[in-house]
Amino acid sequence: MWKVEVNEKLCKKCGICSSLCPAKVFTNEVNELPMYTHQEKCTGCNLCVLRCPDIALTLTGGKK
């Protein structure tokens, strides 16, 4: 299973990861940290990591 970790010290809470995720694994309110709430839907596409302007996300794991 894939896992995305958010570095709270680096994240500016812009919401780019939430808006770009094709599987909609994140939920977040305006000016809040993204919450990785639907981990089971993550496909590991890496868009959130690649597009994060703060380099605040890491993707680990894989399908079992």
CATH of the domain at 24: 3.30.70.20
Number of domains in the chain: 1
CB 48 within 8 A of CB 21: yes
For residue 41, give the DSSP letter: G
Q: Say what the pTM is.
A: 0.83
Q: Which pLDDT does position 12 carry in this prediction?
A: 94
Length of the chain: 64
CB 25 within 8 A of CB 36: yes
**Residue 1 confidence class, pLDDT cut points 50, 70, 90:** confident
Q: Which pLDDT does position 62 carry in this prediction?
A: 80
pLDDT digits (tens, 9 = 90+) for 28-63: 877 889 998 998 999 999 999 999 999 999 999 986
Q: Which pLDDT does position 44 carry in this prediction?
A: 94
**Alpha carbons 28 and 11: distance in angstroms, whole number:** 12
- Domain with 50 in it: 2-61
